[in-house]
């Protein structure tokens, strides 16, 4: 009976592990697809260090504190946001910028979860 019990638990555990692994792979996004999608963002944001437009440069944005890009005039909401940009915070911000950082100047939403993950994967490739 012990052998049957162990086996009956092994299959569901293996299935759960494979589903979690598949989710992580999907969450990583496709940087090339994100770069293509970034054409929607390029009117306002540069990927070159030190080149601010209507929005701040996004070079090296992952891992930085919100409102900290040199030379950009951030909204008070963004200046006071206690956020460090990582995959999770970027996902929430891109889905609903003003809902995540009240008073942000950013108005563009990336509503499609796959597009958000792809853009985030691309942002992770940008260095200062």
Tell me the domain boundaries of the chain: 30-123
Asked whether the predicted pLDDT for residue 103 surpasses 50, the reply is: yes
Domain 30-123: give its CATH architecture: Orthogonal Bundle (1.10)
Q: Mean pLDDT, the chain, as a whole number?
A: 86
In sequence order, the 6+-apart residues with CB closer than 8 A to the CB of 106 are 55, 93, 97, 98
Residue-wise pLDDT tens digits, 34-87: 999 999 999 999 999 999 999 999 999 999 999 999 999 999 999 999 999 999
12 in Cβ contact with 91 (< 8 Å)? no
In this prediction, residues 13-23 reach a mean pLDDT of 43
82 in Cβ contact with 101 (< 8 Å)? no
């Amino acid at each position: 009976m012990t052998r049957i019990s162990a086996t009956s638990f092994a299959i569901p555990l293996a299935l759960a592990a494979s589903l979690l692994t598949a989710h992580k792979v999907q969450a990583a996004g496709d940087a090339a697809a994100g770069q293509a999608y970034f054409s929607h963002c390029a009117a306002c944001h540069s990927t070159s260090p030190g080149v601010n437009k209507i929005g701040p440069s996004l070079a090296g944005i992952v891992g930085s504190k919100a409102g900290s890009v040199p030379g950009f005039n951030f909204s008070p909401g963004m200046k006071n946001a206690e956020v460090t940009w990582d995959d999770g915070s970027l996902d929430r911000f891109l889905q609903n910028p003003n809902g995540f950082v009240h008073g942000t100047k950013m108005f563009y939403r990336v509503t499609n979860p796959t597009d958000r993950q792809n853009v985030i994967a691309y942002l992770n490739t940008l260095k200062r």
